[in-house]
Every structure is written in structure tokens, then in C-alpha cells.
Structure 1
Amino acid sequence: MEDVAYRVIAVNETPDHATLARFRARHQDAIAGLFSQVLGLCVNAGLVDAGLVAIDGTKIEADASYFANRTRDELAAQVLAEAAATDAAEDDLLGDRAGSELPDDWAGGQGRRERIRAALAELEGQPARDYEARLAERAAKEAATGKGLTGPKPRPDTANRPGPRKANTTDPHSRIIATGGSGVMQGYNAQTAATTQQIVVAAEVTATTNDQPHFVPIAMAVSENLAEAGAGKVGTFVADAGYWTGANGTADVGAEVLIATRKPPWRQAERPDDHKITILAKVNRGELSQRQAGDILGVSYTWVRDMTKRYFGKDGPRQARTAQPEPDEWIPVIERLARGEISKRAATDELQVSAGRVNTMLAHVRGEAVDPEIARHAMDAKLATEAGTDAYRKRQHSIEPVFGNVKGNLGYRRFTRRGMTAVHAEWRLICSVHNLLKLRTATTA
């Protein structure tokens, strides 16, 4: 009503909040499609240089409260029953609709049961974390395969056992996401890719804290968006250590890949000596029993007994390996294991590594996967070159100013819609606004 530009865009109309909200919901696919059109304008204006593209993620709050999370039992028994009782009471009180109510999607408590059912569906799709669910999942797998599973069984008294799974009744697709030193938030992880000119070339939304699974998808999205906009191919993708895995470092994404393999020192948490070795040393000195140590570590007392013997034998303390063996040391040993000349236990003892690490080495020797340590050494070598150092140095000032503009200048720190499809369209809209501002600045300079 006060801004002339808005009055012009709205043809001198003053739509209220409900009208705007319905418009955004009705046309969310078209709104998301604006991103590609704006990117095309930036390409035509010569603002998109795909020689280097930086990938990173930022946490955005959901339009939901952290305190609206419920466990499966709470959803199924308590909240769903309350919702049904409320609906029944409203039906008795109001009867048929009067005709002046808001649409179902915008009517406050309406659809609560559907959201709760969606939250239950989200819980079913998540991996089991609580003791009862993990036990049931294990029993189902054993019944399907007809044989027992190896490894320690879930225990109800494990000290570091995670809590029961929860889902949000307001926005079931959102998650409790860690935000570094700031605690946690109910929100999403917005994955973004930008050029050195700070033009956003891909904008996706996920609901996981971990960035690692999203490197290849966002890289492929960049290539698709640039091809659709008529731009050239990407020369190099750069990303921070949050995206590092051996698979990501060796992924075929049609461009050079540079990913930091370790966090910078100022971001590494101060950690004491290895926790397990410290506990095992206390067992060896008689300060803890094997069962007490097992309770602390969440393992069986037999595991404590065997590992204590391994690290602290009858002849006194044995020096444990403090670094991973180099490839020229472990490859001959694993080749002998692959030929059946030695057992897996003998390989773990000789190399002083875990059985899981031996499995990874064996997969590399067999050609089934690239060993992560070999991939790490190769990536460190690329980053150590002059060209690699110069390219990676551009990462921070390519992507971080985008987040600074969106959150700091535009004040956009919280989604206003709910659900993965809706927030994805909203994030692409806000990134389109960022690109339009860059386009305006470039054309008026």
C-alpha cells in the first residue's frame, strides 16, 4: 500500500497475506522455474564464468518449532487421538461449513491428522535408532535371510545409545539440524553452488546435516542448469572438507574436483587421546572391570578382553599404531589376504588396524572401490600444487558472500512455507532474487 513499485507490479491492487500465500502455493512449480530463466539472463549478460564453481550448504530454519517433535508412540497414541477428539468436537459445534472458511491448506488446525500421518511416514522411512526399533529391524532381517546376523546385538543399557526417533508435527520433512557451535535448529540444509562472480548456478534443499551425500547431486544439477541456460561446461568444482569422501574425491562429474580432506585447525575440536585406548588402559591397570569398560564403550566385555590383550599383552604395553599404514606397506599384505595365504585376523594383527579397515583395503585390491586413504593422498597432492592452491583459495569468496547477502542483507534466515517441495521452490526463488540483484548491479555499473 505504501511502496510505489509494489503498486505498479500489483496493478494498483493490495493483495492480503492469504492471497499471496495461495498464489505461492498454486504456482510453486513456476516460481521454482524462474531460477533457470534468471540464470539464463545472467548468462546472456556475460556474468557466468563456469571455469570454477564452489559448492557449500547453509542451514535455514523451518517454519516449525523444535518443540513440535514427537516420537512414534506419541504420534500414534497421544497426538493423533487428541486431533481426532478435537475434530469430533468441532464437527459437533460447527456442523456444516458456513462457506466463509479458509481453504483446507490454510485453515490453522485443519489437516492436523494428515500432517501427523506424514510425520509417522517420515519416521518409517528413517533408519532405526532406538533400541526397540533396532531390535525389531534386526529380527526382520534375520527372518528374511533365514540366518542370524553377525556383530553385537543392540543393548538397552548402552551409555551412548541415541534417543528415540522423532518427527515434527508442523513440518514433517524438516529435521533437527546441528549448527556447529550454535546448538541445533529445526530446519533444512540448503545446498548451493556459485561461480567466482557469485552467481548462483544451482540451489537445492536437503534435510540432513551431513553434506557428503550431496556433492555429486549438486554437481550434476550445476551441469544441467548451465546446459539449459546455454553456458559452457564447468572447469573445476571446489568444496570444503564437509564434502570429503574418497568416492566424492574420485567422482566423475565432468570436471576437475578439488575438495579439502581435513578441516582447518581453527575448526577442529580439541580432543583428548583416543577414548577407547584410554578406557582399555584403565582396564589393563585394574581401574575398571571388563564389564564396566564394556558399558562405557557400548561393547561386549569379550571385545574389551580381546582388545586389551591386543594393545597391552602379557609382555607389557605394546606401542599402538598412531597413523594409518602407507599403501606400499599394506598392499602386499592385503594381496596375500586376497590370495587366501593369510586370514583376515592375521592381516589386522600385522597391520594393527581394525577389521573394517581391512575390508576397505581388500575392496581396493579387488578393484571394487577406491581406498579412501589413497584417494586422500591423491587429493592432498592436487591441492598442494600451485594451480590447486590458487583454485581452492577462490572457494570462500565465491560462495560465502552469497550466504552473507541472503542472510545478512536480505534478512532471509527462515523458510515461510512447509514441506520439501515448498521450501525447495522458496530457496530457488530467493537465489533468483540474489542473481537479479547481481544482474542489476552489473548492468547499471
Structure 2
Amino acid sequence: MKHDHISFIDYNMDQLILPLDLEIKIPPNHLSRLVHQVVEQIDDKILYRVYPGGGRAAYHPKMMLKVILYAYTKGIYSSRKIASQLQENIYFMWLANYQQPDFRTINRFRSERMKDIIYETFFSIVDLLHQQGLIQLEEYFLDGTKIEANANKYTFVWRKATEKFDAKLDEKYRTIVAGIEAITKEDEKIEVESSLQERLDKNPVTSEQIKDTLSVLEKRLETEPKNKAIKKAKRQLEKDLLPRKQKYEAQKEIFNGRNSYSKTDKDATFMRMKEDHMKNGQLKPGYNVQIGTENQFIVGFSLHQRAGDPGCLQPHFGILESYGRPKPKALIADSGYGSEENYAFCDKKEIEAFVKYNTLDKEQTKKWKNQVGRVENMTYDEELDEWVCANNKRLTFAYEKKQKTDNGYITKKRTYRCLDCQGCPFQEICAKGKDTKTISVSLENQQQRREVRERLATEEGDKLYRRRKCDVEPVFGQIKYNRGFHRFLLRGLSKTTVEWGLICVAHNLTKWANQLKPKVKKEENNDKKVA
């Protein structure tokens, strides 16, 4: 049967044609073109610095960076999947100019080459955003989130447990040494062992000390080869105590001030994650990620091994300062950062802090104002350095206590007492039924809180703080849910820093590309109206 009326577009797989120029297939305003243009503007010296030279020719770093960044904008983070895209996806093939590095090469470039230049690469692109007028680098919206590490959640090591077991080991060691003392009969040996006991009492037990004791026992066995007690003590020290002591010492070194770490990723700390499918606040190994944004563009980032946000602010700005970044005029953050240390830091750096403290909103409620025992509802007599309660009773200064934070800041807490509480109508609710009402307060922090309340009460302060919810918080939503990044793929603080840095760059490029689209449509509509 003939079908003369049917026609098809020519399709011949055997026809000889010239190689296709992929660029003609890339739309004018496609994201891959923006990735190409932005990476081409990065200073070559930044990328070339991580190549020592010599040996076999390497893939060009700009090509590698373009491919990885475009992959991250599309939610592709696995090096194997990126390598697969280089053979299947025309956008990847165009960016790579038909080159096909394997997954090992991609992963090596990402985790080894980029670890020393990730911040410089990131800030180079932030500067391009500034040149385009998309950000002004004057307002800094800070927030943090916890990202799960690539580690088994059951491979935890706790500092308290390590210290507990280490203390028991020390006691066992002392018992063994005491036993050696007891079985020693000869005067010369008693003197040797006694000096060991004195040294043990004065200094903490170390693996080196256990090795010294083993040396002493080995010498004893040369003269007393049949001494079963010495043999048993040597075997205990050699097979049990020394390996465990070395393990505990290694663990304490890894802790480095932390309370926990994971055996799978020793840089990861166990933290409570919001994205817990069990909904029971389970502790998981992860990192505390801090970002600063403006107009939903990420302008600064850092990774931390501590779970709390307050102590991350100063190290975060320390990284920005180390790379010569411009200092923002205003810092806007939630009450998680409202500590005396952070207020003092902003004041020192001449940054206007629009940062709530943890009880600011509660202080406005009627319930709070009725709690007469709270410091906020008392009056401070600066001249006499006394606090006056609701019943005009005076709390006088008792003593001052200093506390030092992890970042080295010293806060002074002053304690005041009222010795005239008996018979007061507020005694039950204020002093909790006690004869003495005691408060502990930092006068510096009280002054800071007054300044913050006044600053946030202004029209500018209220406007800026309201913007925080629609500036920095949506960024985490876009990264976690739109691009599906919930867990790091790499391990170790340096590698996860690179991974998060690439995520931040990819977010900025995607945001930049989205801002270009409406302008193009608007111009097209205007052209149609003119025609």
C-alpha cells in the first residue's frame, strides 16, 4: 500500500556530516553560558597557584571548575554522575569542549586542588555580583544551619566517656605499680621502684610513662626471669594498659575542645538535627554551617565544629577579615547570636548590630512584666551600685565572677543580694520563699540590651529585622529542598568546606541567572509593543 501523502523530516543515521558545533544548541540566556562567562573572569593566578607544574599535562582548571559548578546548580554532586553527564548532556559537553575527565580526576580536583582556593574563588564571584549592582555589601544577614556529615551515626566517641575510662586506667596503673613495690625485697630495687612511684604521684599518667615502667620491668626480669608477679604486671601493661592509654591520648587530641566526634569523619561533631525523620531530636554527626546573605545572594560562609551559633559569629567574621572583605555597615541576625560577646565584637568592629537577644520578645508580654523577681523588672541605682526591687528593697553587691568564652572573651557577672526579704509580700514569688533574694547580672550586657532595644525600635531597625526572614532563611530552603543538598558527600573539615563553598557559588549563579530572565522577557514585550 502506498502512502504518497505522508512526509517525514529527513532522518538518516548513516549520512556523513561534519561535527556539530554544540554552541548553536545553547540558548542565549542559558545558565551554562553564565557559568562560562563568570569563570572566565576569575583571575588565572588563583587557579594556577595550586598546580606545581611538571609531569603530564592536566585538564584546564577553568574547564573543571565550570563543569563542577554547573553540575552543582543542577543538584548533581556525585563525581561519577558528573563524569556521566560529560558523555550525555550537551551543556556539560559544551562547557568541557568535548573533554571527558573521569570521576577520579573530577573528585581530585574538587577535594585537593580547590581546598586552598575555595574562598578566593567564591569571593571573586561575589565581587562580580557587586560590580553588576546586584549586592551592595553594606547589610549582612547572618544565619546558620546544621548539615549532616558523611558518617555513620553510630560511630560516636564521647569526651566524658573517654575521660572516665582514662581515669580508671590510671587507677589500674597505680595499683599495678603499688603491687610491684610490695613484692620488691632488695634495697637497690626498692629505691628504683620508689622513685618511679614518686614520679607517678606528681605527674599525670602518660603512655611514655607506661613505656618507662615496662623498661624497668624488663630489666627486673633479666635478673628474676621466673618472677610470675613481674611477668603478669608486664603482660598487663604491654597488652592492655599501653594500647588503651595510646588510644585515649589520640582521642583527646582529636576532641580539641569538642564533646564528641565520629570515627568515620573525625572532624564531624554530633549535633541535634532539625531534619530528623524519627522526630526525636536524634544526635547525628554534622557541621554547623554559617552564611551571610544580601538580596538572597550568599556573600560569606564558614563551617564550624561547634553546635551553638553564638560562638560562631566571631570566627565567621575572622575568615572574612583574613580575605580582606569589606566590612558591612549593619549585621542582622536572630536571637541565637544575641550574646554579650557578639555585641562587644560588633561594637569593636564598628558594625551596627540589629541582633535580638533571647528574651527580647518575652519582655514585651504582660506575664513577663508581672514577674517581679526578674532583673529586667528591677531598677538599677548606678551611683550606689544597687538594684531596687518592686517593694523598694535594695539588693547590694556581694561578689564578682569572671567567665571566659571559647573565643577568649571575658564576661563579668556581678552577684547582688537582698538581706531584707523576710515579711515582704513578694517573698514567695520573688525570692522563692527564701530569706535572701540573689541575682547574677552583667552590667555590660544590660547596657548592650538597652541599646539593642532602642535600635530595633526605630523604623530602620524594624524594617531590617523583618527583611531577615525573607533574605537569609529562604537561601537554606533553596539549597536543601530545591537542590536536594541535605548531607555532605566528602569527609573532613577542609573537604566539606570546599563542598559547601561550591554550593554557595552554585546558588549565587542560579540566582543571578534567574534575575536576568525577567529583564529579557520585559525587553521582548517592549519590542512587540513598539512594533
What TM-score, normalized by structure 1, do the two folds share? 0.59
**Pair 1:263–1:187, CA change in 2 (3 A):** farther
Aligned to 2:78: none
From 487, 497, 507, the counterpart of 1:434: 507
What displacement does 1:333 show? 5.0
CA RMSD of aligned residues (A): 3.8
Aligned to 1:415, the other structure's residue is in SS state: coil
From 422, 425, 441, the counterpart of 2:498: 425
Contact 1:178–1:185 (CA under 8 A) maintained in structure 2: yes
From 131, 143, 146, the counterpart of 1:56: 143
- Please say if 1:177 is aligned against 2:271: yes
Deviations 1:362-405 (A, max 9, x none): xx4xxxxx1x2332222122112222111111111110121122
From 112, 137, 161, the counterpart of 1:26: 112
**Pair 1:391–1:433, CA change in 2 (3 A):** same
- Please say if 1:399 is aligned against 2:472: yes
Contact 1:193–1:218 (CA under 8 A) maintained in structure 2: no
Question: Counterpart amino acid of 1:169?
Answer: K
Aligned to 1:374: 447
What displacement does 1:263 show? 6.6
- Please say if 1:409 is aligned against 2:504: no
Whole-Å Cα distance in 2 between the matches of residues 410 and 431 of structure 1?
12
Deviations 1:102-131 (A, max 9, x none): xxxxxxxxxxxx9998654223x226xxxx
Contact 2:355–2:452 (CA under 8 A) maintained in structure 1: yes
What displacement does 1:42 show? 0.8
Aligned to 2:221: none
Counterparts in 2 of 1:247-326, with a 5 A limit?
247-250=341-344, 251=346, 252-262=348-358, 322-324=373-375
- Please say if 1:385 is aligned against 2:458: yes
Whole-Å Cα distance in 2 between the matches of residues 118 and 406 of structure 1?
36
Aligned to 1:54, the other structure's residue is in SS state: strand
Aligned to 1:187: 286
**Pair 1:342–1:202, CA change in 2 (3 A):** closer
Aligned to 1:121: 253
Aligned to 2:315: 217
Aligned to 1:348, the other structure's residue is in SS state: strand
Whole-Å Cα distance in 1 between the matches of residues 495 and 437 of structure 2?
44
Contact 1:219–1:237 (CA under 8 A) maintained in structure 2: no
**Pair 1:424–1:19, CA change in 2 (3 A):** same
Give percent identity, aligned residues only. Answer: 24
Aligned to 1:238, the other structure's residue is in SS state: strand
What displacement does 1:181 show? 8.2
Question: Counterpart amino acid of 1:126?
Answer: G
Whole-Å Cα distance in 1 between the matches of residues 472 and 516 of structure 2?
21
Aligned to 1:334: 385
Question: Counterpart amino acid of 1:395?
Answer: R
What displacement does 1:356 show? 9.0
What TM-score, normalized by structure 2, do the two folds share? 0.50
What displacement does 1:205 show? 0.4
What displacement does 1:415 show? 1.1
Whole-Å Cα distance in 1 between the matches of residues 399 and 117 of structure 2?
57
Question: Counterpart amino acid of 2:131?
Answer: N
Deviations 1:250-288 (A, max 9, x none): 43233211101237979xxxxxx9xxxxxxxxxxxxxxx
Contact 1:63–1:417 (CA under 8 A) maintained in structure 2: yes
Contact 2:261–2:285 (CA under 8 A) maintained in structure 1: no
Whole-Å Cα distance in 1 between the matches of residues 129 and 382 of structure 2?
50
Whole-Å Cα distance in 2 between the matches of residues 177 and 429 of structure 1?
23
Contact 1:220–1:253 (CA under 8 A) maintained in structure 2: no
Question: Counterpart amino acid of 1:410?
Answer: R
Contact 1:64–1:171 (CA under 8 A) maintained in structure 2: yes
Aligned to 1:314: none
Aligned to 2:335: 241
Whole-Å Cα distance in 2 between the matches of residues 3 and 117 of structure 1?
51
Question: Counterpart amino acid of 2:314?
Answer: V
Question: Counterpart amino acid of 2:254?
Answer: E
- Please say if 1:206 is aligned against 2:295: no
Question: Counterpart amino acid of 2:126?
Answer: L
What displacement does 1:7 show? 2.1
Whole-Å Cα distance in 1 between the matches of residues 116 and 104 of structure 2?
19
Whole-Å Cα distance in 1 between the matches of residues 99 and 247 of structure 2?
34
Question: Counterpart amino acid of 2:94?
Answer: V
Contact 2:397–2:417 (CA under 8 A) maintained in structure 1: no
Whole-Å Cα distance in 1 between the matches of residues 398 and 119 of structure 2?
56
Whole-Å Cα distance in 2 between the matches of residues 58 and 48 of structure 1?
23
Question: Counterpart amino acid of 1:189?
Answer: N
Question: Counterpart amino acid of 1:202?
Answer: G
Q: Based on CA coordinates, which of the two structures has the bigger radius of gyration?
A: 2
Aligned to 2:82: none
Contact 1:55–1:237 (CA under 8 A) maintained in structure 2: yes
Question: Counterpart amino acid of 1:212?
Answer: P
Whole-Å Cα distance in 2 between the matches of residues 414 and 11 of structure 1?
31
Question: Counterpart amino acid of 1:322?
Answer: G
Contact 1:118–1:172 (CA under 8 A) maintained in structure 2: no
What displacement does 1:245 show? 0.8
What displacement does 1:186 show? 1.5
Contact 1:219–1:253 (CA under 8 A) maintained in structure 2: no
Question: Counterpart amino acid of 2:464?
Answer: A
What displacement does 1:409 show? 1.5
How many residues get paired?
302
